[in-house]
Structure formats: C-alpha cells, structure tokens
Amino acid sequence: MKTGDKQIGAVDGILPTPTPSHSAVVNDVDGAWEFLDKHRNENIQDESVDILAIRRKNDYRIVPLGFLLYTMQFMDKLVLNYAGVMTLREDLNLKGNDFSNLVTATYVAIAVWEIPTVYFLQRFPAAKYMAINAILWGISTACGAAAHNYQTLLVTRIFLGIFEATINPSLMLISGRWYTKPEQAPRFSFWLLGLGVGQIVGGAISYGFQLVSPTLPLQGWRIMFILLGLVTIVFGGLTFWYMPDTPMEAPWLTDREKVALLKHISINQTGVENRKVRVAEILEALRDPQVWLIWLSVTLFAGTGGITIAYSSTLIRNLGYTSKQATLLNMPAGLISITVMLIPGWAVRRGHHRWAWALGTLFPAIIGSALMSFLPSTNTSGILAGIYLANFIPGPLTIFWNWAPANIAGATKRAFVSALLGGLFAAGGIIGPQSFQARDAPEYRPAKITVLATQAAGACTTFALFLYYVRQNRKRNLNTVDRETEEAFMSPEVWARLTDRENMRFRYSY
C-alpha cells in the first residue's frame, strides 16, 4: 500500500522472527526495531489504523514547537539588525566594522560548535538537547541588554551562536523520526517559516521599541533584547516538557499506533534512534560526492541569507528612508520568505522535483541581486524591488534542509552531515556580513555582487546534485528490482545501521 494512503493495515505477521542469519544484524539495529520486536505478539491483527489521524496527532504536538523555536532563533539573531537602526551603535560607541564583526561572531560560534554538536546529537536525545540549548540562547539574548561596550555585547553574541548551533541539525534529525520523506518537506517548510514570521514580527517589535521614550531607564533596544530572550526561554521550556525524542516515547500514541507509525516511516530506511557513534560513517560522508555538493550549495545560499538577514534594513535605510521607515519597509520581505518556503514544501509533498523547485525559487533571487548590484543609486524603487526579490533565497535553502536528511542514511553519518550543514550555513553567514565593509558605504556594491555570484554558483551545484542522484538511482535499478513498500522493509535488516551507500535498496529523492 502506498505511504500516502489513508488506511494502513494491521502489522500482524510482518515482523519476521530473527533467524541465525539475522543474528549479527539484530544485535546492531535501531531502537525502533527493539520496540517492534517487543510488541510483535500483541493482538492487533483485527484492527486497522488511520495513518492520517496519527500524523495529525504528531503535527499538533511536534510541528508548532519546532516552528516557535525556529522563529525565536531567527529573531534572536535578527534583533541585532533592528537594534542597529536604533541607538545601539551610538550607545555602545561602535566604530568601523564593529557591527559587522558582531554579526559575524555569532556565525563563527555556530560554525565552530557544530563540530562537538555531531557527538552530542548522537549521544543525547535530540529534542531535549535542542530545548536546553534554546533556554540557554534565550538567556544569552537577554544578557545582551546589559552590554555597555562592543566587547561585552560580543561575548553575548558568541554564546548565542554556540547554543543556536543545535537548532538546524536537531530539526533535520527529528523530522526523519516522525515522517516519511515526502511528508518531511512541508513540515520542514513550516518550521522555516520562522524566517519570514521573524522578519514581520521583529519589524513590528522594532518599530514599537523605537517609539519608547528616551526618558526611560533602559533604551528601547535593551528592552527588546530582554523581551525576546524571555520568550525564547519559555518556548524552550515547553519544548523540553512536551516534545518526545522518538515516536516510541509519544504519550499521545497507543502501542498499536506506534507500531503502525514505525511501519509507515520504515520506508525511509534512515532509522529512528541509534546512539552508537561509528567513525566509519563519518569517513564515508567525507568521501561522498552528494555530501560535498549539498554542503557547497548551502554555503553559497547562506552567503546570500547572511546579507539579507543582517543588512536588509540597512540597505533600505541607505536609500534615503528613516530608521522607522526602513523597519516597516523591511517587513514585506518576510511575506516573500513565507511564500517561497511554503509552496516548495507543498509541491514536494505532492511528488514534484526538489531540484526544479530549488532552481525555480533561485532565479528570482538572482534577478533581485542583479537589480541591487547594477541599478544606479538614484533608482530607489528598482533597488528596493531587488532587495525584496533577494528574499526568495529561503526557497532553495528550505529544500536543501529537508533534502539532505531524506538522502542520508546511517545514524552517525546523518548526524555528522546535519551538524556540518548547520556549520556551513553559518560559514555563509560569515561571508555575507564580512562583504559589508565600512569603506563601501552607502551602496555596498561589493556585497551586492557577492550575493549575485553566490546565487549563480548555487544554481550550478544544485543541478549537478540532481544529475548525481539520477545516475546513482539508475545504477541501483540495474542491480535490484526490490520495490520500496512498507511490507518489504519491515525486517531487522531495514533497521540495521546501514548508510545510504551500504544499502543498495536505498533510492535517492530528487
């Protein structure tokens, strides 16, 4: 039966009793198989399970928490962007490239801390680890209100980066534990809506705090730091208490529903829970061409994202608008981001090609970058349109965030690739802000050209990845004719710790 069908049958008789030939495999399997094996004798053969109802239960409890945390991690980074058009520069006596360095420091911390994150995500429950880090980055954001110079604010931004390093790889791992590959795309798109929502809500909050009376004990930007930090702490606490780490621990599902859900997602062939680190899987990832193409593409797209996130308000203000006007004019960019993240997720869920949608959302961003780069500074309307079009870049980023975990199997390999993906996303965030040098103000033309170049290169790497997957699937189709069905994959071998390159029945999605 297809994975998208409403009803799936009971799982009686589909869990084969291990034989001696299976013993080596069974001793090294995913935690999901242990649950299935434990419940093989339950009397559920006369019942059927509504997989859509199970999915709705999961959606109501898993997706909103991921969305709230992703929104807050974006806003906690973005708060510096909005504070930069308030009085932060003057209050902290920032000079030259100090502001760019503050933005860069967060991304450097993220990139560096992704290395130990590989280990932590393999050894500790991903949801709990993500929640604890959310609480800590909320504290870091709130502490930014106490900064009295460049150095003290720099320290808080570094800790913010360390604790935020977990969000992207954690969500990538969590999505694969609860949903099939096509189902992951719209859920991840919804999580990433936090980018667009953060731009809109953050703009409104910033505008409001710019109206704060200067006679108050704290400047508006300081109150804004405290408010966002406290909200993040609350959402982190909710995630810690209410998001389980695996379907086997979900209190809202019966054992029968858990078995049915594990059967449903077994077609992913990427496992659910395995906390033993395999160095061989890391070495395989480093030799895997798809991994390098994914990493390179995300780095290129993130370079654009770093500029858009950190400097969109500044670019708009330099067109001749006031700080308040720049804040409000930056809000429509959030609506664009929301649109280009929702539509590809919906399309992939219905069987559309990921690579085509990645390129389709990338081309408007390239046009926008060209408008920003080459129009004369007097053409404010054209440049403003270019800034808005550049906000199409979350489209391909959204696709890659769910594309990578869908095509990477092996617990250690997937954790390694996901964590390094977050680190390279941060590297793009480093490249972007550093292209904004004080000597290039007010047009910042080198930075705008950097955006255009990275997007064009990203289009090339995306197409190369598509060709690689087509070639790999054709080679595998010549060697095996096994069909990917729920019934075919309910065996110990499916839940064994195999990578996508070791498992020749694995098929890449593109």
Segment holding 49, helix H or strand E = strand 49-50
Rounded (10°) CA dihedral 394, 398, 401, 403: -130
The residues spanned by each domain of the chain are: 27-479
**Is 80 exceeded by the pLDDT of residue 483?**
no
**Is 90 exceeded by the pLDDT of residue 234?**
yes
Q: Which amino acid is located at 423 in the chain?
A: G
Number of H helices, E strands in the chain: 20, 2
CA distance 233 to 238: 9
**Is 90 exceeded by the pLDDT of residue 232?**
yes
Encoded tokens for 273: 């829970």
% of the chain with per-residue pLDDT over 70: 81
**Is 60 exceeded by the pLDDT of residue 13?**
no
CATH 3.40.50.2300 fits 27-479, yes or no: no
DSSP reduced 3-state for 425: helix
Q: Which of 12-21, 321-330, 374-383 has the highest mean pLDDT?
A: 374-383
CA distance 31 to 275: 9
Average pLDDT over residues 102-113: 85
DSSP reduced 3-state for 29: strand
Q: What distances in angstroms separate CA 292 from CA 399, 471, 473, one per listed residue?
A: 16, 16, 18
CA distance 143 to 148: 11
Q: Which of 92-96, 247-251, 344-348 has the highest mean pLDDT?
A: 247-251
Q: Which of 80-89, 297-306, 457-466, 501-510 has the highest mean pLDDT?
A: 457-466
CA distance 458 to 370: 15
Please say whether the beta carbons of 403 and 509 come within 8 A.
Answer: yes
3-class DSSP string for 485-510: CCCCCCCCCCCECCCCCCCCCCCCCC
CA distance 147 to 96: 18
CA distance 301 to 168: 15
**Is 90 exceeded by the pLDDT of residue 355?**
no
Average pLDDT over residues 238-245: 92
SS3 content of the chain, % helix, strand, coil (to 5): 70, 0, 25
The pLDDT assigned to 441 comes to 66
Phi, psi of 226 (to 5 degrees): -65, -45
Q: Which residues contact 260 (CB under 8 A, 6 or more apart)?
A: 8, 10, 11, 49, 51, 54
**Is 80 exceeded by the pLDDT of residue 239?**
yes
CA distance 90 to 108: 25
The pLDDT assigned to 467 comes to 92
Quick: pLDDT tens for 131-176.
999 999 999 999 999 988 989 999 999 999 999 988 888 888 888 8
Identify the CA nearest to 204 among candidates 75, 337, 387: 75
The pLDDT assigned to 18 comes to 39
Q: What distances in angstroms separate CA 451 from CA 84, 118, 388, 391, one per listed residue?
A: 21, 29, 13, 11
CA distance 25 to 4: 29
The pLDDT assigned to 3 comes to 39
Q: Which amino acid is located at 404 in the chain?
A: A
**Is 50 exceeded by the pLDDT of residue 5?**
no
Quick: pLDDT tens for 50-72.
888 899 999 998 999 999 999 99
What Rg, from alpha-carbon coordinates, does the chain have?
23
Which ranges of 391-506 would DSSP assign to H, the alpha helix? 394-407, 411-434, 445-479
According to DSSP, the residues that pair with 8 across neighbouring strands are 49
Q: Which residues contact 23 (CB under 8 A, 6 or more apart)?
A: none
CA distance 497 to 429: 34
**Is 50 exceeded by the pLDDT of residue 127?**
yes
pLDDT band at 410 (very low <50, low <70, confident <90, very high): confident
